Amino acid sequence: MKAALFRLGLQAYEPVLNLQRKWFEEAMQQRSQGQAPANRLIMVEHKPVYTFGKHAQQGNMLASPEMLQKLGADVFEIERGGDVTFHGPGQLVVYPMFDLELLNMGVKRFVEALEQSIMDCVALFGIKAGVVQGRTGVWVEAGSPSERKIAAIGIRCSRHYAMHGLALNVHTDLNWFSHIVPCGIADRGVTGISEEAGRGVSIKEAEEAMLQCLQAYFPFNFVEQDLILNS
């Protein structure tokens, strides 16, 4: 099985969102015509942005739009599940636009595979992480009073095809999270690979590790392709 791999570097959020939406609609049309949709994997680092999922509570945004604008951050309401989260420099964002029918996966298994991929990835940096019942994502010291979130997951799935994905903190400025209640969870903190590993970890290192770990659960031959985004 083949999937196209797009390493987009540092990008504003909106062009990548529009690209996903375009490809998602194409996939829905292919499904309606009895065709198998294309499989694509996007790996990107975003400029500062806060995104609200379809079940987000507005009260979980602690700063005013004016304050966020002064800080240089955008705000988007999008169609993924989950609450409010932050994307920004130093964070690896991965969008697996996969045909779950081809993979013989339901949504639950898909999310579990993403979580396990992240756990395997951070383990390569000496970090033990796990999941917390009832809370999507991946956590360090999971289940303890000091648990802290290292990666968030929020997806949209329709007709067994997925968009949106995961965000893994690598060397993110965690102060950005002080303006929100991350994922609507007020009593837990956030962390990153560099904080937990005790050394600076680059996006490139994390990207290579994440790709390796994803392939264990999503057995695609990832074929790298160039792409110029429309801003």
Q: Which residues are catalytic?
A: 183
Rounded alpha-carbon distances, angstroms, from residue 2 to 22, 40, 140, 175, 215: 20, 9, 33, 39, 11
Round to whole Å and give the CA distance between 214 and 160: 19
Q: What share of the chain is helix, strand, coil (3-state, %, to 5)?
A: 35, 30, 35
Give the Cβ contact number of residue 223 at 10 Å. 10
Bridging pattern class, strands 74-77 and 135-140: unpaired
Question: Residue 50 — left, alpha, or beta (φ > 0 → left; ψ -120 to 50 → alpha)?
Answer: beta
